[in-house]
Amino acid sequence: MLSCCCFCRLAVHLIPLHSLHSSLMRTILHCLHSLHSRKHFTHSSTQHTLHHHHIHISITNSSPTTYQSVKTLRGFLLLPPLLGGFSVLLQLSKSSITHLPEREEELLNNTNSYRVSIFRSGFLYIFIHALIGSNFGLNLPAEMILDVMNLKKCLTNVFLLTLAMLTTASVVDLDQLELIGGFVGVNIGTDVSDLLAASNVVAILKAHQITHVRLYDADTHLLQALSNTSIEVIVGVTNEEVLRIGESPSAAAAWINKNVLAYVPSTNITAVAVGSEVLSTIPNVAPVLVPAMNSLHKALVAANLNFRVKVSTPHSMDIIPKPFPPSTATFNSSWNSTMVQLLQFLKNTNSSFMLNAYPYYGYTKGDGIFPIEYALFKPLPSVKQIVDPNTLFHYNSMFDAMVDAAYYSIDALDFSDIPVVVTETGWPSLGGSNEPDATVGNAETYNNNLIRRVLNDSGPPSQVNMPISAYIYELFNEDKRNGPISEKNWGIFYSNGSAIYPLSLSTSGQINGTSASVFCVAKDGADSDKLQAGLNYACGQGGANCAAIQQGQPCYLPNNVKSHASFAFNDYYQKTHSTGGTCDFDGTATITTRDPSYGSCIYTGSSNSSGGGMSLAPTALGPSSPSKASSNMQMCSLQYLISVVGAFLALVML
């Protein structure tokens, strides 16, 4: 054991974490290769298959096997069941088992195979799933496991690597650990007249603790600015590039080399999004969509990045013609052939199904079928509860129903265990006269409630154990986009980096983050009559404390309507924000992070305020709390420890 510990300490100092991942994989595959090369194995007896959330090893026999050998093998499988991890299924053809006792043969009369016990042992699961971030499956011949001496050698190597990983776990930065549960990211569009420099965009992300972003193209400046930030990045292949990549594997390889390989590992690229809503926007490209994904994946395999970077493509809800009730939802049948190929690709590569889900459109195009509260995650009275008549599942939000519709559509094509990630969702803060629901208040309500929904780490009713992750559309208002006014106003920030409205991360009402407080003040150049009307409302029906702007009080001077309105607007906003109050006042007010306090006039929410409102940070979209990260770290270390014990017991029993 002393030598093992020495090896661990050496590994910690000399082998980076990702190298340990690779070392473990090479060790396991080397063991399989060395055993497989023995003359009594056939090449077809070993094949790799993919499974979701676990490792499944199916042991089969390629030659006649005695019942005594089966008993020996079964004994090996009966390791302590509490170790947790991967499952092993012994499945032997009845006709190939010799000297089978009569009592056993009777049990097999109604089946063609001999299924024996399943055991779970943690030492492989932890490395391959939790650390490498991917799943792995093996189909092994029975004789391989019976070769105890070679298996011992394999387990010894795995045991040493396990110890190395256990020691390393204590020094790994929390940012490098994959926290269990959902997350909220943002989309970054660049159709902005005065887009901030890439370094300033990243500064906003870091200041607001945004840990996941999606780029619509491989923007060189942003990809460089995101380096060494640990922010997880989905980089997009534009719709215009899909056809060329789908028709040319060399073009796919060139794209990966230029837009992924050139930036990793310093830029934390975790996925490639192939086009955006290809099937519904450029259907003529559909025949090459999956070939494009395959070619990009093969290029990642060639670069040894396929475990780190996944490939998928975002879909519009339009590919599900009738999303309600979710239980009967199916994909548009005209795309069935493409969808089967696509889902098989996602299954084989352990990738997610990307969905753009917009309850805003579901509500506005629904002709009043659903109440707006349902679209905004607001609670509904019992008489208005939305229930799927087939499953009796209650849907508290249209967002959940849309995600479940995707899961049911996937299931309708006989696929499962493919997680759905929402790559776009949000609500516009401004619209035209024919878009009355596009308001700052609704946008603020939707996105704040979305964050609370995602961070409760549960899935939709049909998949409660599959947490939902979502990307808010979008970081900035894109004034250069075509279409109605609402199309230009989905951002959570103006192009200058000031927040349009604050986003609260935690469900408890406390605001995480260290960014500046947010204040509501009168706009420069606002109409005086509207300002006066807003001032009267805030100090009257709105309940703002306007004592400080009375004559002789610290905020009376300067004695003008703009100054007095700013104080009143802010006091109203700070007191009512948590219950739905907004900073609008008929378009005369705006959000700012600059403290408007002056002299002895201290605004509510200021760091110098003794009893005013709560200080609101604009947003924090990372892990929900330090304690959550800590608990995940502890769980990770516990799993490593269990892994060591599992490997050690396996060696002892052999």
Q: Which of 367, 394, 364 is nearest to 381 (CA)?
A: 394
Helix (H, G, I), strand (E, B) or coil at 48: strand
What letter would DSSP give residue 265? T
Active site residue 487: no
**In the structure encoding, which two tokens stand for residue 444, read together?**
């603020």
Contacts of 149 (CB under 8 A, 6+ apart): none
Residue 469 and residue 183 in contact, taking contact as beta carbons nearer than 8 Å: yes
Helix (H, G, I), strand (E, B) or coil at 164: helix
Active site residue 424: yes
Query: Count of CB atoms within 10 A of residue 197's CB?
Result: 10
Q: Phi and psi for 521 in degrees, rounded to 5? A: -135, 165
Q: Which of 316, 235, 305 is nearest to 269 (CA)?
A: 235
Distance, in Å, from the CA atom of 205 to the CA atom of 182, rounded to the nearest integer, reads 18
What letter would DSSP give residue 293? H
Residue tagged 């927040």 (tokens): 499
Q: Rg of the chain's alpha carbons, rounded to an integer?
A: 29
Residue 191 and residue 32 in contact, taking contact as beta carbons nearer than 8 Å: no
User: Pairing mode, if any, of strands 184-188 and 519-522?
Assistant: unpaired
The type of residue at 469 is S
Query: Per the residue annotation, which of 277, 444, 474, 478 is the catalytic one?
Result: 277
Query: Per the residue annotation, which of 232, 241, 424, 444 is the catalytic one?
Result: 424
Helix (H, G, I), strand (E, B) or coil at 290: helix
Residue tagged 């995707």 (tokens): 406
Active-site residues: which are they? 277, 424
